[in-house]
Amino acid sequence: MWRAPYLESCCRSALHRLYLAGPIGRPAGLKDGPCLARLATLGFARERADGRFEITPDGDAVRPGLVARPSAGQRLA
């Protein structure tokens, strides 16, 4: 049974961009701002005092299951 939380593709992408941003974080005023806010309500991100978002340990743990990567030899459609 699927136990990972359901996230729209835009929110999965925002979580991955948050991971890629690392300690710099992401500002709230970008197009993915609503997704960052949603991720914060789920505990996968948090807004810092400087207004930027960073990934939480829970977000880092759930991210590999949400961001699919093709296996060796698999073709993308």
The pLDDT of residue 73: 54
On whether the pTM is more than 0.85, the answer is: no
The pLDDT of residue 76: 46
Are residues 52 and 28 in contact, defined by beta-carbon separation less than 8 angstroms?
yes
Q: For 27-66, b where at least 16 C-beta lie within 10 A, e where not — what string?
A: eeeeebeebbebbbeeebbbeeeeebbbbbeebeebbeeb
| Tokens encoding 8 | 């729209």
| Tokens encoding 22 | 């690392």
**In which band, very low, low, confident or very high, does the pLDDT at 4 lie, cut at 50, 70 and 90?**
low
The pLDDT of residue 77: 45
Listed in sequence order, the residues at least 6 apart from 42 whose beta carbon sits closer than 8 Å to its beta carbon are 5
Q: Provide the 3-class DSSP secondary structure of residue 45.
A: strand
User: Is pLDDT at 24 greater than 90 in this prediction?
Assistant: yes
Arithmetic mean of pLDDT over the chain: 83
